[in-house]
Structure 1
């Protein structure tokens, strides 16, 4: 039994080292698969060690008892002092007929010893439940930022005689909102495409302008310039201040962005004054994906 326990402990240490190494090397794409593999390896080792202990002691081992617990139980059973012949006869008289004295002693130790892993899990579950309850209580007292921002934005639109057109929150909202503004202003897109893909044309215009004026934009980037331009042209990457600047200059139209508390940010085209201007509404808290743009129009 002592040899078996020593080998089991070494196997557990070796497995933990392997698991730690695997998890360190995992990335976002492989993390789930690595975690599943680690769980499987732990379960297999636990089951095998339980079977070996059971085979050695002649006892049936429950699936819910961890292998390290089994080792502790076995140590306690084996650590009992040797009995003299007289003592053994006395203890044997206390056992059920046909029951081996050592087996009865080991079973008694297992019955008395609490399952420490189950107790720890129960405590953790209770602690997590209490934390969730406290968080829910705190959330009730926090202001609803989304609702407050929405109310202030509607008031600001009303003051300016505007109403908004909802734009789908899909990562293309800035470009779709600009495409809607171009349609309202009778400004043609760079390419003749169907309405559902209008944002793609606006994306292409922004990417082309930035690419041609690399020196004006590259100092503000935190990633390689080619990758940045590729995201604008080919992905659903969100647009922001730099892309609005590129679009204002490309379409020679000033862009006004209405924000929370009635603030208005003007992105100038840099050309001669024009009667045609774009109006967008910018939300910071109003949509599930986070920041969002809608298109603004004159109220009827």
Structure 2
């Protein structure tokens, strides 16, 4: 029977708003930057949805579909970057590759964010404190916008290389990536997905319950985590708060916000669940957590391993975790 691969459709970016429309005529820079961030997030969510849809069919079909998704997302990402650069240029910021102009361009963006005309040379007298405060806030916002632009330029190629390496690692094991929503809860959602898979039904814990378990475990076993917490938070050593207060704040953020989870949280999860956790990566060596809970019988045992993947270049705004599942044809 001849199988025909469905072409994965990717919506085109929204049509360009006419120059004389209210949106372009009255949009402030702050509103523009906010919209840019939303459009980047929408593209990331679209990529996750398309990858999920592509994970069907034979291995050859899946590979072809994933390649199509990568190509389409790469094109959309480039178009989005160009569109953002053009819009920023209309406010006095030019995304030039000329290093000599880079500082001037950034200064222009800072002034635009601060509400200072970039075309006006103005009075050379000393700026007021209000203007200084505005420019300081604008400097931070401009630096963030520039980082986003730079990351967009690099993330597509880095992501493709990382994904290809990970696929080559997983394919001989009969495994594949199950995409998880990139919303800050990705580590806990990925573990929840694994628990659902291992139980053959619904997970015994939601991602929010996993967060609360991790925070409670870290509080109870604070001496085990404080040395690592301290090394990861050296930049806050000049804070007026004590180490215990900063650690408590960290635990509160785990249980009550969408704070991204990492090595400390993985260490707590493996003990909370009493499960071995295997983390695959296309950028780094694989990592095992909770080896004392590892069963010699592997995935067929009564206590199989939780399998995750770590992606350094998955998205331009941060790192990401996915769930690793059997590649069933």
State the TM-score, normalized to the length of structure 1: 0.51
2:220 and 2:135 map into 1 onto residues whose CA distance is 36
Could you tell me how far 1:168 is from its partner in structure 2? 0.3
1:254 and 1:163 map into 2 onto residues whose CA distance is 19
1:146 and 1:180 map into 2 onto residues whose CA distance is 23
Equivalent residue in structure 1 for 2:166, among 143, 148, 153: 153
Q: How many residues align?
A: 176
Q: Secondary structure at the match of 1:144?
A: helix
2:187 matched residue in structure 1: 174
Could you tell me how far 1:206 is from its partner in structure 2? 0.8
Q: Secondary structure at the match of 1:228?
A: helix
1:283 matched residue in structure 2: 311
1:24-39 → structure 2 map (5 Å cutoff): 24-25=132-133
Could you tell me how far 1:282 is from its partner in structure 2? 0.8
Provide closer, same or farther for how the CA distance between residues 269 and 206 of structure 1 changes in structure 2, counting only shifts above 3 A.
farther
1:248 matched residue in structure 2: 270
1:51 matched residue in structure 2: none
Q: Secondary structure at the match of 2:270?
A: helix
Unaligned 5+ residue runs, structure 1?
1-10, 33-131, 192-197
2:156 and 2:256 map into 1 onto residues whose CA distance is 38
Could you tell me how far 1:287 is from its partner in structure 2? 2.0
Listed one character per residue, the Cα deviations across residues 196-251 of structure 1 (whole Å, up to 9, x for unaligned) are: xx211111111111111111112222251111001100111100011000000000
Over the aligned positions, Cα root-mean-square deviation in angstroms equals 3.4
Unaligned 5+ residue runs, structure 2?
1-121, 140-148, 237-245, 296-301
Provide closer, same or farther for how the CA distance between residues 212 and 150 of structure 1 changes in structure 2, counting only shifts above 3 A.
same
The answer to whether 1:235 aligns with 2:257 is yes
1:264 and 1:13 map into 2 onto residues whose CA distance is 58
Listed one character per residue, the Cα deviations across residues 121-143 of structure 1 (whole Å, up to 9, x for unaligned) are: xxxxxxxxxxx9xx9xxx79x99
Could you tell me how far 1:263 is from its partner in structure 2? 2.9
Listed one character per residue, the Cα deviations across residues 53-87 of structure 1 (whole Å, up to 9, x for unaligned) are: xxxxxxxxxxxxxxxxxxxxxxxxxxxxxxxxxxx
1:299 and 1:210 map into 2 onto residues whose CA distance is 35
Could you tell me how far 1:260 is from its partner in structure 2? 1.2
1:107-186 → structure 2 map (5 Å cutoff): 144-186=157-199
Q: Does the 8 Å contact 2:279/2:309 carry over to 1?
A: yes
Structure ID, larger Rg: 1
2:204 and 2:289 map into 1 onto residues whose CA distance is 20
Equivalent residue in structure 1 for 2:218, among 210, 220, 233: 210
Q: Secondary structure at the match of 2:199?
A: coil
